[in-house]
Amino acid sequence: MNKLEIAFDNGCEKYNLEDYYFIYNQPDTPPAFSSKKIRFKPTQLPDRLLLSKIHHNYLIELKQTKGSRFDFHRIPLHQIRSLLDFERKAGTSYILFSFNEFEKIVLVHITHFLKLQRIVKKEAYNGERRGKGKSFNVNDLEKIKYKSLKATLLRKNYELELGFLLPNQMVISSFI
């Protein structure tokens, strides 16, 4: 698991998630998952999936970069299709980006990500930016809606604040 996956999981651990079924992708042994509405092949499982009969369902792809620039090709077409399919059928889809080793962490709705992709490519086509519009940087995020997240350093790993995703969930106090 990478640092962003660990931080996300640490953020979920402090909540009592008895109303949610939490699925995470293990690249070595990917399980197959399907229901009446959605289906994921083992090779196309998302990074994180929160399912609930009572609350809202979330599909989240986790992406991190050590710099301030992110290449669009790092989100393959099959992941975008899965995010959009889940959005239509079962819940809300997000992409969680971490820039500069947790310096800036943002949660972007899939439709806003696609809007950012169109804006960047249009600016490149019109000569308003250098390059061919194959990547975006942290400053480009100001052109769309997103949610900034805080990461807290816990000894050697981070923990993301995810309370806004999990309404009415009781925080489990930790005694460390």
Q: pLDDT of 98-135, one tens digit each?
A: 998 788 999 999 999 999 999 999 998 888 887 788 99
**Cβ neighbours of residue 40 under 8 Å, at least 6 residues apart?**
32, 33, 34, 46, 82
Binned at pLDDT 50, 70 and 90, residue 173 comes out as very low
Check residue 174 and give its pLDDT. 35
- Going along the chain from its start, the domains and CATH numbers come out as 3-27+39-160 (3.40.1350.10)
Check residue 30 and give its pLDDT. 45
Kindly report, residue by residue over 44-89, the tens digit of the pLDDT: 567 787 777 767 888 899 999 999 999 999 998 988 998 999 999 8
* Cross-strand bridge partners of residue 13: none
Q: What is the pTM of this model?
A: 0.78
